[in-house]
Amino acid sequence: MPVTQERSGTAPETPDGAPGRGARALARIRAGLPRTGLAALAGLLLALAFPPFDLWPLSLLGVGALALLTRGRTARQAAWTGFAFGLPFFLMLLSWLRVVGWDATIGLSVVEALFLAALGSGLAVTSRLPGWPLWGACLWITQEWARDRMPLGGFPWGRLAFANTATPYTPLAALGGAPLVTFAVALSGSLLAWAALRVAGRGTGRRPVAAAVAALGAVAAMLAGFLVPVPTAPADTVKVAVIQGNVPNPGMDFLGRPMMVLNNHAAATEKLAEDIRAGRAEKPDLVIWPENSSDLDPFSDPLAYARIDEAVRAIGVPTLVGTLVDGPDEQHVQNEGIVWDPRTGPGASYTKQHPVPFGEYVPFRDQLSKVITRLQRVARDFYPGDHNGVMQLGPARIGDVICFEVAYDEIVRDTVDKGARVLVVQTNNATYAKTGQPEQQLAMSRLRAVEHGRAVLIAATSGISAVIAPDGSVVRRTEELTAAELSATVPLRDGTTVADRVGAAPEWTLAVAGLLACAGGVLLARRRRPAAGATDTAPAGTPTGTPDAGE
Protein backbone atom coordinates (compact mmCIF):
# COMPACT_ATOMS: atom_id res chain seq x y z
CA MET A 1 0.00 0.00 0.00
CA PRO A 2 1.54 3.32 -1.01
CA VAL A 3 2.28 5.81 1.73
CA THR A 4 0.92 9.36 1.31
CA GLN A 5 3.37 11.98 2.54
CA GLU A 6 1.79 15.09 4.07
CA ARG A 7 3.42 18.50 3.71
CA SER A 8 2.99 20.56 6.81
CA GLY A 9 2.61 24.34 6.33
CA THR A 10 2.48 24.29 2.54
CA ALA A 11 -0.36 25.33 0.28
CA PRO A 12 -2.37 22.60 -1.44
CA GLU A 13 -1.28 21.99 -5.01
CA THR A 14 -3.12 21.35 -8.23
CA PRO A 15 -2.16 18.26 -10.28
CA ASP A 16 0.46 20.25 -12.23
CA GLY A 17 2.17 21.35 -9.02
CA ALA A 18 0.94 24.96 -9.02
CA PRO A 19 -0.60 26.42 -5.86
CA GLY A 20 -4.39 26.09 -5.61
CA ARG A 21 -6.76 28.97 -6.27
CA GLY A 22 -7.66 29.34 -2.58
CA ALA A 23 -4.01 29.51 -1.58
CA ARG A 24 -3.31 32.16 -4.21
CA ALA A 25 -6.24 34.22 -2.98
CA LEU A 26 -5.01 33.95 0.61
CA ALA A 27 -1.54 34.99 -0.47
CA ARG A 28 -2.94 38.05 -2.23
CA ILE A 29 -4.89 39.03 0.88
CA ARG A 30 -1.79 38.70 3.05
CA ALA A 31 0.25 40.70 0.58
CA GLY A 32 -2.33 43.48 0.63
CA LEU A 33 -2.56 43.81 4.41
CA PRO A 34 0.29 46.33 4.75
CA ARG A 35 -1.27 48.57 2.08
CA THR A 36 -4.67 48.30 3.78
CA GLY A 37 -3.14 49.22 7.12
CA LEU A 38 -1.37 52.23 5.64
CA ALA A 39 -4.61 53.35 3.99
CA ALA A 40 -6.46 53.14 7.31
CA LEU A 41 -3.69 55.11 9.02
CA ALA A 42 -3.82 57.77 6.30
CA GLY A 43 -7.58 58.07 6.79
CA LEU A 44 -7.13 58.66 10.51
CA LEU A 45 -4.49 61.31 9.79
CA LEU A 46 -6.94 63.08 7.47
CA ALA A 47 -9.57 63.08 10.24
CA LEU A 48 -7.08 64.85 12.51
CA ALA A 49 -6.95 67.71 9.98
CA PHE A 50 -10.55 68.61 10.88
CA PRO A 51 -11.92 70.28 14.01
CA PRO A 52 -11.65 69.85 16.91
CA PHE A 53 -8.03 68.82 16.20
CA ASP A 54 -7.36 71.36 13.42
CA LEU A 55 -4.08 69.84 12.21
CA TRP A 56 -4.79 71.07 8.69
CA PRO A 57 -1.40 70.14 7.09
CA LEU A 58 -2.43 66.51 7.61
CA SER A 59 -5.04 67.01 4.89
CA LEU A 60 -2.16 67.25 2.38
CA LEU A 61 -0.57 64.14 3.82
CA GLY A 62 -3.83 62.22 3.65
CA VAL A 63 -4.43 63.15 0.01
CA GLY A 64 -0.83 62.34 -0.96
CA ALA A 65 -0.90 58.99 0.84
CA LEU A 66 -4.08 57.88 -0.93
CA ALA A 67 -2.58 58.92 -4.29
CA LEU A 68 0.52 56.80 -3.66
CA LEU A 69 -1.38 53.80 -2.29
CA THR A 70 -3.70 53.62 -5.32
CA ARG A 71 -1.14 54.45 -7.99
CA GLY A 72 -0.64 51.72 -10.56
CA ARG A 73 -3.22 49.40 -8.95
CA THR A 74 -6.21 47.85 -10.63
CA ALA A 75 -9.53 49.61 -10.17
CA ARG A 76 -10.76 46.81 -7.91
CA GLN A 77 -7.66 46.84 -5.74
CA ALA A 78 -7.78 50.61 -5.44
CA ALA A 79 -11.48 50.55 -4.53
CA TRP A 80 -10.64 48.46 -1.48
CA THR A 81 -7.78 50.81 -0.62
CA GLY A 82 -10.11 53.80 -0.88
CA PHE A 83 -12.66 52.09 1.36
CA ALA A 84 -9.96 51.19 3.89
CA PHE A 85 -8.96 54.86 3.83
CA GLY A 86 -12.49 56.23 4.06
CA LEU A 87 -14.03 54.06 6.77
CA PRO A 88 -11.71 55.02 9.66
CA PHE A 89 -11.71 58.60 8.41
CA PHE A 90 -15.47 58.92 8.71
CA LEU A 91 -15.69 56.85 11.89
CA MET A 92 -13.39 59.36 13.58
CA LEU A 93 -14.84 62.46 11.91
CA LEU A 94 -18.45 61.52 12.68
CA SER A 95 -17.82 60.09 16.14
CA TRP A 96 -20.17 62.79 17.49
CA LEU A 97 -23.04 60.62 16.23
CA ARG A 98 -22.28 58.23 19.07
CA VAL A 99 -24.82 60.08 21.20
CA VAL A 100 -27.46 58.75 18.82
CA GLY A 101 -25.82 55.32 18.68
CA TRP A 102 -22.67 53.72 17.39
CA ASP A 103 -24.77 51.82 14.88
CA ALA A 104 -25.72 55.18 13.33
CA THR A 105 -22.05 56.22 13.28
CA ILE A 106 -20.95 52.99 11.63
CA GLY A 107 -23.83 52.89 9.14
CA LEU A 108 -23.30 56.44 7.92
CA SER A 109 -19.53 55.98 7.82
CA VAL A 110 -19.86 52.88 5.64
CA VAL A 111 -22.13 54.71 3.19
CA GLU A 112 -19.77 57.69 2.99
CA ALA A 113 -16.70 55.44 2.66
CA LEU A 114 -18.20 53.88 -0.48
CA PHE A 115 -17.70 57.22 -2.23
CA LEU A 116 -14.01 57.13 -1.29
CA ALA A 117 -13.87 53.58 -2.64
CA ALA A 118 -15.03 54.99 -5.98
CA LEU A 119 -12.45 57.75 -5.63
CA GLY A 120 -9.74 55.15 -5.08
CA SER A 121 -10.70 53.39 -8.31
CA GLY A 122 -10.67 56.68 -10.17
CA LEU A 123 -7.24 57.58 -8.81
CA ALA A 124 -5.87 54.23 -9.96
CA VAL A 125 -7.31 54.62 -13.46
CA THR A 126 -6.00 58.17 -13.90
CA SER A 127 -2.61 57.42 -12.32
CA ARG A 128 -1.41 56.16 -15.72
CA LEU A 129 -2.20 59.44 -17.44
CA PRO A 130 0.27 62.28 -17.96
CA GLY A 131 -0.38 65.01 -15.41
CA TRP A 132 -2.11 62.59 -13.05
CA PRO A 133 -1.86 64.89 -9.97
CA LEU A 134 -4.19 67.34 -11.74
CA TRP A 135 -6.73 64.64 -12.60
CA GLY A 136 -6.55 63.25 -9.09
CA ALA A 137 -7.38 66.67 -7.66
CA CYS A 138 -10.35 66.90 -10.03
CA LEU A 139 -11.57 63.51 -8.85
CA TRP A 140 -11.67 64.74 -5.26
CA ILE A 141 -14.18 67.32 -6.50
CA THR A 142 -16.13 64.63 -8.37
CA GLN A 143 -16.33 62.56 -5.21
CA GLU A 144 -17.45 65.50 -3.07
CA TRP A 145 -19.97 66.60 -5.71
CA ALA A 146 -21.61 63.16 -5.64
CA ARG A 147 -21.44 62.76 -1.86
CA ASP A 148 -22.94 66.20 -1.27
CA ARG A 149 -26.07 65.18 -3.18
CA MET A 150 -26.57 61.42 -2.75
CA PRO A 151 -28.26 59.55 -1.20
CA LEU A 152 -31.29 61.30 0.30
CA GLY A 153 -29.97 64.76 -0.45
CA GLY A 154 -26.35 64.02 0.43
CA PHE A 155 -24.12 64.65 3.43
CA PRO A 156 -21.26 67.15 2.82
CA TRP A 157 -19.34 66.51 6.06
CA GLY A 158 -15.66 65.74 5.50
CA ARG A 159 -14.98 67.97 2.49
CA LEU A 160 -11.31 68.92 2.32
CA ALA A 161 -12.34 72.58 2.30
CA PHE A 162 -13.88 72.21 5.77
CA ALA A 163 -10.48 71.24 7.18
CA ASN A 164 -8.99 74.41 5.69
CA THR A 165 -11.20 77.24 6.91
CA ALA A 166 -8.36 79.16 8.57
CA THR A 167 -5.37 78.28 6.39
CA PRO A 168 -3.54 79.81 3.41
CA TYR A 169 -6.04 78.02 1.15
CA THR A 170 -9.09 79.72 2.69
CA PRO A 171 -9.17 82.93 0.57
CA LEU A 172 -9.66 80.80 -2.55
CA ALA A 173 -13.24 80.35 -1.36
CA ALA A 174 -13.90 83.94 -2.51
CA LEU A 175 -13.06 82.84 -6.07
CA GLY A 176 -14.66 79.42 -6.38
CA GLY A 177 -16.27 78.52 -3.06
CA ALA A 178 -15.57 75.37 -1.11
CA PRO A 179 -14.89 73.31 -4.30
CA LEU A 180 -11.92 75.49 -5.28
CA VAL A 181 -10.45 75.19 -1.79
CA THR A 182 -10.80 71.40 -1.95
CA PHE A 183 -9.20 71.37 -5.40
CA ALA A 184 -6.18 73.40 -4.28
CA VAL A 185 -5.65 71.19 -1.21
CA ALA A 186 -5.98 68.00 -3.27
CA LEU A 187 -3.63 69.36 -5.95
CA SER A 188 -1.00 70.23 -3.35
CA GLY A 189 -1.24 66.78 -1.78
CA SER A 190 -1.07 65.02 -5.15
CA LEU A 191 1.94 67.09 -6.26
CA LEU A 192 3.74 66.20 -3.03
CA ALA A 193 3.07 62.54 -3.81
CA TRP A 194 4.49 63.07 -7.32
CA ALA A 195 7.58 64.69 -5.77
CA ALA A 196 8.00 61.76 -3.37
CA LEU A 197 8.01 59.34 -6.31
CA ARG A 198 10.71 61.35 -8.05
CA VAL A 199 12.85 61.48 -4.93
CA ALA A 200 12.44 57.72 -4.51
CA GLY A 201 13.46 57.21 -8.13
CA ARG A 202 10.53 54.99 -9.08
CA GLY A 203 11.14 53.47 -12.52
CA THR A 204 13.79 55.74 -14.04
CA GLY A 205 16.05 56.69 -11.19
CA ARG A 206 16.05 59.70 -8.95
CA ARG A 207 15.01 63.00 -10.49
CA PRO A 208 15.61 65.74 -7.92
CA VAL A 209 14.85 68.60 -10.31
CA ALA A 210 11.43 67.17 -11.16
CA ALA A 211 10.78 66.56 -7.47
CA ALA A 212 11.66 70.16 -6.65
CA VAL A 213 9.36 71.46 -9.38
CA ALA A 214 6.48 69.34 -8.04
CA ALA A 215 7.10 70.52 -4.49
CA LEU A 216 7.15 74.13 -5.66
CA GLY A 217 3.87 73.54 -7.47
CA ALA A 218 2.33 72.25 -4.23
CA VAL A 219 3.53 75.32 -2.36
CA ALA A 220 2.28 77.61 -5.14
CA ALA A 221 -1.20 76.08 -4.94
CA MET A 222 -1.18 76.79 -1.22
CA LEU A 223 0.16 80.34 -1.42
CA ALA A 224 -2.18 81.33 -4.26
CA GLY A 225 -4.76 82.18 -1.64
CA PHE A 226 -2.69 85.12 -0.46
CA LEU A 227 -3.19 86.75 -3.86
CA VAL A 228 -6.98 86.61 -3.60
CA PRO A 229 -8.63 89.79 -2.30
CA VAL A 230 -11.41 89.05 0.20
CA PRO A 231 -13.87 91.97 0.11
CA THR A 232 -14.79 93.13 3.61
CA ALA A 233 -15.56 96.87 3.32
CA PRO A 234 -19.05 97.48 4.74
CA ALA A 235 -21.79 99.49 3.08
CA ASP A 236 -23.36 99.91 6.51
CA THR A 237 -23.26 98.39 10.00
CA VAL A 238 -25.78 97.00 12.46
CA LYS A 239 -25.67 96.32 16.20
CA VAL A 240 -26.64 92.76 17.02
CA ALA A 241 -27.16 90.66 20.15
CA VAL A 242 -26.98 86.86 19.94
CA ILE A 243 -28.69 85.01 22.79
CA GLN A 244 -27.48 81.56 23.93
CA GLY A 245 -29.92 80.50 26.63
CA ASN A 246 -28.49 77.00 27.19
CA VAL A 247 -30.47 73.79 27.77
CA PRO A 248 -31.30 71.70 30.84
CA ASN A 249 -29.48 68.58 29.67
CA PRO A 250 -27.15 67.84 26.74
CA GLY A 251 -27.76 64.77 24.61
CA MET A 252 -30.91 63.32 23.07
CA ASP A 253 -33.16 64.64 25.87
CA PHE A 254 -31.90 68.22 25.92
CA LEU A 255 -35.33 69.84 26.16
CA GLY A 256 -36.19 68.93 29.74
CA ARG A 257 -39.66 70.04 30.87
CA PRO A 258 -41.81 72.08 28.47
CA MET A 259 -41.00 75.82 28.41
CA MET A 260 -37.58 75.38 30.04
CA VAL A 261 -35.53 76.16 26.92
CA LEU A 262 -37.89 79.00 25.97
CA ASN A 263 -37.69 80.45 29.48
CA ASN A 264 -33.89 80.34 29.35
CA HIS A 265 -33.79 82.44 26.18
CA ALA A 266 -36.55 84.79 27.27
CA ALA A 267 -34.88 85.37 30.65
CA ALA A 268 -31.49 86.06 29.00
CA THR A 269 -33.15 88.58 26.67
CA GLU A 270 -34.91 90.28 29.57
CA LYS A 271 -31.65 90.47 31.49
CA LEU A 272 -30.04 92.22 28.52
CA ALA A 273 -32.99 94.65 28.46
CA GLU A 274 -32.45 95.35 32.16
CA ASP A 275 -28.73 95.99 31.57
CA ILE A 276 -29.61 98.40 28.76
CA ARG A 277 -31.98 100.36 30.98
CA ALA A 278 -29.30 100.49 33.70
CA GLY A 279 -26.71 101.76 31.24
CA ARG A 280 -24.56 98.63 31.53
CA ALA A 281 -25.10 97.59 27.89
CA GLU A 282 -25.81 99.25 24.56
CA LYS A 283 -29.14 98.63 22.91
CA PRO A 284 -28.88 96.44 19.78
CA ASP A 285 -30.75 96.97 16.53
CA LEU A 286 -31.81 93.34 16.42
CA VAL A 287 -31.63 90.13 18.47
CA ILE A 288 -30.98 86.58 17.27
CA TRP A 289 -32.31 83.50 19.07
CA PRO A 290 -31.17 80.02 17.98
CA GLU A 291 -32.93 77.07 16.41
CA ASN A 292 -35.42 75.46 18.84
CA SER A 293 -35.08 78.39 21.26
CA SER A 294 -38.80 77.94 21.80
CA ASP A 295 -39.53 74.32 22.62
CA LEU A 296 -43.26 74.84 22.07
CA ASP A 297 -45.16 76.03 19.00
CA PRO A 298 -46.20 79.61 19.82
CA PHE A 299 -49.05 79.44 17.31
CA SER A 300 -50.71 76.51 19.06
CA ASP A 301 -49.59 77.19 22.65
CA PRO A 302 -50.80 80.55 24.07
CA LEU A 303 -48.30 80.43 26.95
CA ALA A 304 -45.34 80.08 24.55
CA TYR A 305 -46.67 82.94 22.40
CA ALA A 306 -47.07 85.19 25.45
CA ARG A 307 -43.60 84.35 26.80
CA ILE A 308 -41.87 85.16 23.51
CA ASP A 309 -43.89 88.35 23.07
CA GLU A 310 -43.07 89.45 26.63
CA ALA A 311 -39.31 89.04 26.10
CA VAL A 312 -39.32 90.73 22.68
CA ARG A 313 -41.32 93.69 24.01
CA ALA A 314 -38.85 93.98 26.91
CA ILE A 315 -35.85 94.30 24.57
CA GLY A 316 -37.84 96.50 22.17
CA VAL A 317 -36.21 95.42 18.88
CA PRO A 318 -37.07 92.82 16.21
CA THR A 319 -35.96 89.34 17.26
CA LEU A 320 -35.39 86.21 15.18
CA VAL A 321 -36.96 83.28 17.06
CA GLY A 322 -36.35 79.59 16.28
CA THR A 323 -39.13 77.08 16.90
CA LEU A 324 -41.03 74.09 15.56
CA VAL A 325 -44.52 74.82 14.26
CA ASP A 326 -47.26 72.54 13.05
CA GLY A 327 -46.95 71.49 9.43
CA PRO A 328 -49.60 71.23 6.74
CA ASP A 329 -50.96 68.01 8.29
CA GLU A 330 -50.80 66.04 11.53
CA GLN A 331 -47.80 63.99 10.35
CA HIS A 332 -45.49 66.96 9.80
CA VAL A 333 -43.84 69.84 11.64
CA GLN A 334 -41.79 72.73 10.28
CA ASN A 335 -38.45 73.99 11.62
CA GLU A 336 -38.72 77.76 11.37
CA GLY A 337 -36.98 81.03 12.04
CA ILE A 338 -39.63 83.71 12.71
CA VAL A 339 -39.18 87.48 12.70
CA TRP A 340 -40.91 88.71 15.87
CA ASP A 341 -41.61 92.44 16.09
CA PRO A 342 -42.04 94.06 19.53
CA ARG A 343 -45.19 95.88 18.33
CA THR A 344 -46.80 93.65 15.71
CA GLY A 345 -45.66 90.20 16.84
CA PRO A 346 -44.70 87.36 14.47
CA GLY A 347 -44.19 88.20 10.82
CA ALA A 348 -41.95 86.79 8.06
CA SER A 349 -40.58 83.27 8.53
CA TYR A 350 -38.14 80.84 6.99
CA THR A 351 -38.69 77.07 6.99
CA LYS A 352 -35.67 74.78 6.88
CA GLN A 353 -35.36 73.47 3.32
CA HIS A 354 -33.09 70.48 3.94
CA PRO A 355 -34.30 68.33 6.85
CA VAL A 356 -31.83 65.70 8.04
CA PRO A 357 -32.83 62.12 7.17
CA PHE A 358 -33.31 59.85 10.20
CA GLY A 359 -32.90 62.86 12.51
CA GLU A 360 -35.69 65.14 11.28
CA TYR A 361 -37.57 62.77 9.04
CA VAL A 362 -37.59 59.00 8.53
CA PRO A 363 -37.29 57.71 4.95
CA PHE A 364 -39.30 54.55 4.34
CA ARG A 365 -40.85 55.06 7.78
CA ASP A 366 -43.36 52.19 7.63
CA GLN A 367 -40.70 49.62 6.83
CA LEU A 368 -37.71 50.88 8.84
CA SER A 369 -39.57 51.76 12.05
CA LYS A 370 -40.51 48.11 12.48
CA VAL A 371 -36.84 47.11 12.37
CA ILE A 372 -35.22 50.10 14.10
CA THR A 373 -37.57 50.99 16.94
CA ARG A 374 -35.43 54.00 17.91
CA LEU A 375 -36.73 55.77 14.80
CA GLN A 376 -40.10 56.00 16.47
CA ARG A 377 -38.66 58.83 18.56
CA VAL A 378 -38.96 60.97 15.43
CA ALA A 379 -42.72 61.18 15.94
CA ARG A 380 -43.42 63.53 13.03
CA ASP A 381 -41.45 64.25 9.89
CA PHE A 382 -40.13 67.75 9.21
CA TYR A 383 -41.84 69.38 6.25
CA PRO A 384 -39.27 71.13 3.99
CA GLY A 385 -39.53 74.80 3.14
CA ASP A 386 -39.87 76.02 -0.43
CA HIS A 387 -37.99 79.35 -0.33
CA ASN A 388 -34.74 80.86 0.90
CA GLY A 389 -34.19 82.54 4.25
CA VAL A 390 -33.88 86.18 3.11
CA MET A 391 -35.92 88.33 5.53
CA GLN A 392 -35.93 91.88 6.81
CA LEU A 393 -35.00 91.90 10.49
CA GLY A 394 -35.09 95.50 11.70
CA PRO A 395 -32.55 97.49 9.68
CA ALA A 396 -30.82 94.36 8.31
CA ARG A 397 -31.72 92.13 5.40
CA ILE A 398 -30.56 88.75 6.71
CA GLY A 399 -30.04 85.39 5.06
CA ASP A 400 -31.16 82.72 7.52
CA VAL A 401 -29.94 79.12 7.26
CA ILE A 402 -30.73 76.51 9.89
CA CYS A 403 -28.14 74.16 11.40
CA PHE A 404 -26.76 71.57 8.93
CA GLU A 405 -27.86 73.71 5.97
CA VAL A 406 -24.64 75.71 6.35
CA ALA A 407 -22.81 72.69 4.87
CA TYR A 408 -24.71 72.91 1.56
CA ASP A 409 -23.27 75.35 -0.97
CA GLU A 410 -26.45 76.13 -2.88
CA ILE A 411 -28.60 76.94 0.17
CA VAL A 412 -26.20 79.57 1.51
CA ARG A 413 -25.40 80.93 -1.96
CA ASP A 414 -29.08 81.40 -2.72
CA THR A 415 -29.57 83.75 0.23
CA VAL A 416 -26.73 85.98 -0.97
CA ASP A 417 -28.00 85.91 -4.55
CA LYS A 418 -31.39 87.12 -3.27
CA GLY A 419 -29.93 90.07 -1.37
CA ALA A 420 -28.86 88.94 2.11
CA ARG A 421 -26.44 91.48 3.62
CA VAL A 422 -25.47 89.34 6.61
CA LEU A 423 -25.74 85.57 7.14
CA VAL A 424 -27.42 84.02 10.19
CA VAL A 425 -26.96 80.38 11.20
CA GLN A 426 -29.58 79.28 13.73
CA THR A 427 -28.51 75.98 15.24
CA ASN A 428 -29.25 73.61 18.07
CA ASN A 429 -26.14 71.58 18.88
CA ALA A 430 -27.33 70.52 22.33
CA THR A 431 -27.56 66.89 21.25
CA TYR A 432 -23.87 66.91 20.30
CA ALA A 433 -22.42 69.04 23.09
CA LYS A 434 -18.74 68.35 23.83
CA THR A 435 -18.40 65.92 20.92
CA GLY A 436 -16.53 68.09 18.38
CA GLN A 437 -19.56 68.61 16.14
CA PRO A 438 -20.08 72.28 17.13
CA GLU A 439 -16.44 73.05 16.21
CA GLN A 440 -16.91 71.40 12.82
CA GLN A 441 -20.01 73.46 12.13
CA LEU A 442 -18.24 76.64 13.24
CA ALA A 443 -15.49 75.92 10.70
CA MET A 444 -18.07 75.65 7.91
CA SER A 445 -19.53 79.02 8.89
CA ARG A 446 -16.08 80.59 8.75
CA LEU A 447 -15.61 79.35 5.19
CA ARG A 448 -19.03 80.73 4.20
CA ALA A 449 -18.03 84.16 5.49
CA VAL A 450 -15.02 84.25 3.15
CA GLU A 451 -16.88 82.65 0.25
CA HIS A 452 -19.59 85.31 0.25
CA GLY A 453 -17.82 88.25 1.88
CA ARG A 454 -20.49 88.43 4.57
CA ALA A 455 -20.44 88.57 8.34
CA VAL A 456 -21.91 85.39 9.84
CA LEU A 457 -23.88 85.28 13.09
CA ILE A 458 -24.19 81.85 14.72
CA ALA A 459 -26.88 81.49 17.36
CA ALA A 460 -26.78 78.16 19.20
CA THR A 461 -28.93 76.96 22.09
CA SER A 462 -25.97 75.56 24.03
CA GLY A 463 -22.88 76.56 22.03
CA ILE A 464 -20.96 77.46 20.00
CA SER A 465 -22.52 80.87 19.23
CA ALA A 466 -20.19 83.23 17.38
CA VAL A 467 -19.76 86.46 15.46
CA ILE A 468 -17.61 85.92 12.36
CA ALA A 469 -16.18 88.75 10.25
CA PRO A 470 -16.31 88.66 6.42
CA ASP A 471 -12.65 87.57 6.32
CA GLY A 472 -13.50 84.45 8.33
CA SER A 473 -11.99 85.59 11.62
CA VAL A 474 -13.95 84.86 14.79
CA VAL A 475 -14.68 88.18 16.48
CA ARG A 476 -16.50 86.72 19.47
CA ARG A 477 -17.66 83.26 20.51
CA THR A 478 -19.18 81.45 23.45
CA GLU A 479 -18.23 78.28 25.26
CA GLU A 480 -20.43 75.22 25.20
CA LEU A 481 -23.12 74.48 27.77
CA THR A 482 -23.12 78.00 29.16
CA ALA A 483 -25.74 80.74 29.03
CA ALA A 484 -24.26 83.73 27.22
CA GLU A 485 -25.02 86.85 25.20
CA LEU A 486 -22.85 88.22 22.40
CA SER A 487 -23.09 91.87 21.39
CA ALA A 488 -21.24 93.23 18.38
CA THR A 489 -21.40 95.73 15.54
CA VAL A 490 -21.20 93.84 12.26
CA PRO A 491 -20.86 95.02 8.64
CA LEU A 492 -23.70 94.85 6.18
CA ARG A 493 -22.49 94.26 2.63
CA ASP A 494 -24.16 94.50 -0.76
CA GLY A 495 -21.20 93.57 -2.97
CA THR A 496 -20.63 90.04 -4.20
CA THR A 497 -17.53 87.90 -4.51
CA VAL A 498 -16.34 86.14 -7.65
CA ALA A 499 -17.61 82.92 -6.07
CA ASP A 500 -21.11 84.43 -5.86
CA ARG A 501 -21.03 85.43 -9.50
CA VAL A 502 -19.72 82.14 -10.93
CA GLY A 503 -21.89 79.99 -8.66
CA ALA A 504 -21.49 76.24 -9.08
CA ALA A 505 -19.55 76.51 -12.38
CA PRO A 506 -16.10 75.71 -10.86
CA GLU A 507 -17.47 72.63 -9.13
CA TRP A 508 -19.18 71.28 -12.23
CA THR A 509 -16.16 72.01 -14.43
CA LEU A 510 -13.70 70.25 -12.13
CA ALA A 511 -16.05 67.35 -11.43
CA VAL A 512 -16.63 66.71 -15.14
CA ALA A 513 -12.89 67.00 -15.81
CA GLY A 514 -12.36 64.21 -13.28
CA LEU A 515 -14.91 61.98 -15.01
CA LEU A 516 -13.39 62.65 -18.44
CA ALA A 517 -9.94 61.82 -17.07
CA CYS A 518 -11.31 58.48 -15.84
CA ALA A 519 -12.73 57.78 -19.27
CA GLY A 520 -9.35 58.63 -20.80
CA GLY A 521 -7.60 56.31 -18.36
CA VAL A 522 -9.92 53.43 -19.25
CA LEU A 523 -9.34 53.95 -22.99
CA LEU A 524 -5.58 54.10 -22.46
CA ALA A 525 -5.63 50.86 -20.46
CA ARG A 526 -7.58 49.09 -23.21
CA ARG A 527 -5.08 50.20 -25.84
CA ARG A 528 -2.23 48.82 -23.76
CA ARG A 529 -3.80 45.40 -23.26
CA PRO A 530 -2.17 42.52 -25.15
CA ALA A 531 -3.94 41.46 -28.30
CA ALA A 532 -6.64 38.83 -27.88
CA GLY A 533 -5.25 35.33 -27.98
CA ALA A 534 -1.72 36.39 -27.04
CA THR A 535 0.11 33.92 -24.85
CA ASP A 536 1.06 35.04 -21.36
CA THR A 537 4.48 33.54 -20.72
CA ALA A 538 5.15 35.31 -17.45
CA PRO A 539 5.99 32.97 -14.55
CA ALA A 540 3.34 32.41 -11.89
CA GLY A 541 3.30 35.22 -9.34
CA THR A 542 4.83 37.81 -11.69
CA PRO A 543 2.95 41.16 -11.47
CA THR A 544 1.14 41.93 -14.72
CA GLY A 545 -0.06 45.47 -13.98
CA THR A 546 0.71 48.31 -16.29
CA PRO A 547 3.96 50.07 -15.43
CA ASP A 548 3.58 53.52 -13.87
CA ALA A 549 3.44 56.18 -16.58
CA GLY A 550 5.88 59.00 -16.40
CA GLU A 551 8.35 57.28 -14.12
CATH code, domain with 311: 3.60.110.10
Which of 352, 405, 480, 507 is an active site residue?
A: 352
Question: Is residue 241 a part of any domain in this protein?
Answer: yes
Residues 240, 225 within the same domain: no
Question: Is residue 84 a part of any domain in this protein?
Answer: yes
Residues 206, 306 within the same domain: no
Domain edge (last residue) among 229, 258, 286: 229
Q: 3-class secondary structure for 93-156?
A: HCHHHHHCCHHHHHHHHHHHHHHHHHHHHHHHHHCCCCCHHHHHHHHHHHHHHHHCCCCCCCCC
Task: Give the angle 49-144-362 at the CA atoms, nearest 5°.
Answer: 100
Q: Tell me, what amino acid is at 548?
A: D
C-alpha–C-alpha distance, residues 118 and 125, integer Å: 11
Question: Is residue 135 a part of any domain in this protein?
Answer: yes
Is residue 518 part of the annotated active site? The answer reads no
Longest dimension (CA), the chain: 110
Q: How confident is the model at residue 536 (pLDDT cuts 50, 70, 90)?
A: very low
Residues 189, 113 within the same domain: yes
Which of 138, 144, 403, 451 is an active site residue?
A: 403
Residues 267, 202 within the same domain: no
Give which of 161, 163, 159, 160 is closest to 53, Cα–Cα.
Answer: 163
Q: How confident is the model at residue 9 (pLDDT cuts 50, 70, 90)?
A: very low
Residues 223, 302 within the same domain: no
Residues 295, 153 within the same domain: no
Give which of 275, 210, 242 is closest to 427, Cα–Cα.
Answer: 242
Domain that holds residue 343: 236-362+375-496
Question: Is residue 543 a part of any domain in this protein?
Answer: no
Residues 152, 261 within the same domain: no
pLDDT, tens digit (0-9, with 9 covering 90-100), for 371-393: 666 666 767 888 999 999 999 99
Question: Is residue 302 a part of any domain in this protein?
Answer: yes
pLDDT, tens digit (0-9, with 9 covering 90-100), for 12-32: 555 555 567 777 767 777 777
Residues 225, 242 within the same domain: no
Question: Is residue 502 a part of any domain in this protein?
Answer: no
Could you write out the DSSP letters of every residue in 182-204? HHHHHHHHHHHHHHHHHHHTTTT
* Cβ–Cβ < 8 Å for 244, 460: yes
Residues 335, 434 within the same domain: yes
Domain edge (last residue) among 229, 257, 272: 229
Cα dihedral 500/501/504/508 (nearest 10) = -140
pLDDT, tens digit (0-9, with 9 covering 90-100), for 100-132: 888 889 999 999 999 999 999 999 999 999 999
Domain edge (last residue) among 211, 229, 247: 229
Q: What is the mean pLDDT of the chain?
A: 88
Which of 112, 291, 439, 480 is an active site residue?
A: 291
Q: How many domains does the chain have?
A: 2
Question: Is residue 97 a part of any domain in this protein?
Answer: yes
pLDDT, tens digit (0-9, with 9 covering 90-100), for 394-425: 999 999 999 999 999 999 999 999 999 999 99
C-alpha–C-alpha distance, residues 6 and 18, integer Å: 16
Residues 96, 225 within the same domain: yes
DSSP character at residue 463: S
C-alpha–C-alpha distance, residues 551 and 543, integer Å: 17
Residues 242, 113 within the same domain: no
Residues 220, 244 within the same domain: no
